[in-house]
Amino acid sequence: MMQTNAAVIPERHLHEECGVFGVYSQTSQDVASLAYYALYALQHRGQESAGIVVNDDGLFSSYRDVGLVSEVFPPERLAALGHGNIAVGHVRYGTTGSDNKRNVQPILVNHYKGRMALAHNGNLTNSRQLRLELESKGSIFHTTTDSEVIAYIIVQERLKSASIEEAVSAAMDRLVGAYSLVISSPSKLIAVRDPYGFRPLCMGRTKNGDVAFASESCGLDAIGARFERDILPGEIVVVDKSGVKSDTSHCGKTPKKLCVFEFIYFARPDSVIDGSSVHVARQRAGAFLALEHPVQADIVIGVPDSGLDAAMGYSRQSGIPYGMGFIKNKYIGRTFISPTQEMRENEVNIKLNPIRSVVEGKRVVLIDDSIVRGTTCRRTIELLRKAGAKEIHMRVSAPPFVAACYYGTDIDDPSKLIANNHTVDEIAQIIGVDSLGYLSLADVVKLADNTECGFCTACFGGGYPTAIPQDSGKDRFECKISERKKEAHA
C-alpha cells in the first residue's frame, strides 16, 4: 500500500476552452457593452484572454488582449469600439495553442468577399490534417489555434458559395470534433453547433428584439435577454435584417454527445443547458453519491464552488446535516502570483480557509467535483485535518479521469492522471482521507434528467465519439522545425 506522503504529480485544475457571445441589433447601438456584460458572466469559461469585435454596417472595430474581461476592457477601451449592429465576443482558455496575444479571439479574417469575425468554443480532432492541407496550398497562419483553421476552411468554401451560411454548411462537412461558433459577416450574425453538440450554445432576445447567442444562459441573463432555446446539435442559425433563419440539414447525422462535465464543473450553476438546470444536476450528483457511497458522518461540506451543490444533494439524500466548511477568498484573481516557493506551496491556504467551528471534532463528508492529479485535494484535506476534523470521507461527483479529452478540456496526458496509476484505496491514502468514493459512470449520465441529448464520457473511459487524433497536444502547432520536417515527409 502507498504511504500518505507519497509523491504526487503536480496538479492544475481542469479548464474548458472558452465562452462565446454574439448579438444582432436592427439598429446601431452600444452592442460592445452588451458583449462586455455577457463575457463578464461567462468569465468562468476562460480567464486567459478576452476580445470583442463590433460590426457597424460592415465596418469592423476590435480589441483583444490577454487578461480578464475587466482588465482588457476598462471604460475608455470599451467606448473606443463605438456603436454597431453586431458584436461578437470571446473569453479564452486555450486547449490548442499557447496563451499569448496572437491567439486571442475573435479571429478576424479579410477576404475578397468581405470581412469575417469568428469566436470558437471547442476543439477539432482533425485540425492538424486540415492545417497541413491548407498550408500546402499557400495559406499563411498567424495563430497556433484550431480556430483559425475553421476560419480558413469557411473562407475557402466562401469562394465557391453564394452566401456565408452556405460556406459554413460546406465547411461543416470537413470539420470533425467540437465547435460552437459565433460568426459575424458584414451583414449577418451566424451561430453554429457541431453535429455532436459537444459544447453548449443557446439563443435569446432582449426586450428591444435584439437576438443574442451565448455559451450559457447566464450570458443572456447578464444583458437582460430572455432565453429562447438551445441551438440544436448540427444547427446553423442566421440572423440578418430579414429576421432569423435556421438550417438543420446537419442535424441528426451523428449521436448527440454533450460534454457531461459541463454539468459537473464547467458551467455556472445558474445556467440551463439543453433543458436542464446545472444547479439541479449537481444536486442529483450528490444524491447519487449518497446512494452509491453511504457513510456514517456528522456533517457534509463541499469544496467551493462546484462542490457545494453536490454537497447539498448528498446531505438531503443521506440525512447528514450540510455545513459551510470553507471560506473562499474571492479576491484572488488570475494575476495572483506567489512571490516565494514557500508561499506557492501554501497557495491553497490563501484561497481556501476551513471554518474550525464547523469541522472540529466532526466526521466530515467532503464533496469535490474531481480529482485530476491529487495535489490540490491533498492540500485541501490537510487544511481540514489542521482544523480538527476527526474523520474525512471524500466523495467525488464525477467518475475517475482515465483518458485524454480531444474536445476542449485540457486533459491530454493520461499517464499523469492519478486514477491511471493507483487504485481507489491507494488514492485515498495518498490524499489522506479515511475513505474515497467516485460517482459511477452509470449514474453520471443521469444527472441532467430533462436533457434529451446523449453525453460524451470519453475522459471517464466511456469511449470516443470520433476517431482519436494522432497528435492532440495543446501546442501541436508550435513544434520544432525538425519535427515539422518529419511530418512533411511522412
C-alpha cell at 74: 476598462
Q: Which of 238, 141, 251 is nearest to 188 (CA)?
A: 238
Here the cell at position 221 is 441573463
- Owner of C-alpha cell 456533517: 299
Helix, strand counts (H, E) of the chain? 18, 23
Q: What single string gives the DSSP state of each residue in 274-295? A: TTEEHHHHHHHHHHHHHHHS--
Q: Which three cell numbers stand for residue 96?
A: 490548442
Work out whether the CA dihedral 424, 426, 428, 430 comes out positive or negative. Answer: negative
CB atoms within 10 A of CB 252: 12
Neighbours of 299 (CB within 10 A): 20
The C-alpha cell at 388 is 480538527
Rounded CA-CA distance 438/440 in Å is: 6
**3 state SS of 161:** coil
The reply to whether 218 belongs to the active site is no
Active-site annotation holder among 18, 218, 453, 459: 18
CA distance 109 to 148: 9
Between CA 383 and CA 373 the distance in angstroms is: 18
φ, ψ for residue 9 (rounded to 5)? -65, 135
Question: How far is 308 from 274, CA to CA, in rounded Å?
Answer: 22
The grid coordinates of residue 454 equal: 446523449
3-state SS, residue 261? helix
- Residue given cell 481556501 in the structure block: 352
How far apart CA 114 and CA 468 sit, in angstroms, is 35
Please state, in angstroms and rounded to a whole number, the distance separating the CA atoms of residues 182 and 34. 15
The answer to whether 231 touches 199, Cβ cutoff 8 Å, is no
What b/e sequence results for 333-350 when a residue is b if at least 16 CB atoms lie within 10 Å of its CB, and e otherwise?
Answer: eeeeeeeeeeeeeeebbe
DSSP string, 393-448: EEEESSPPP-S---SSBS---GGG-HHHHS-HHHHHHHHT-SEEEEPPHHHHTTS-
Residue linked to cell 477576404? 111
Q: Looking at the annotation, which residues are catalytic? A: 18
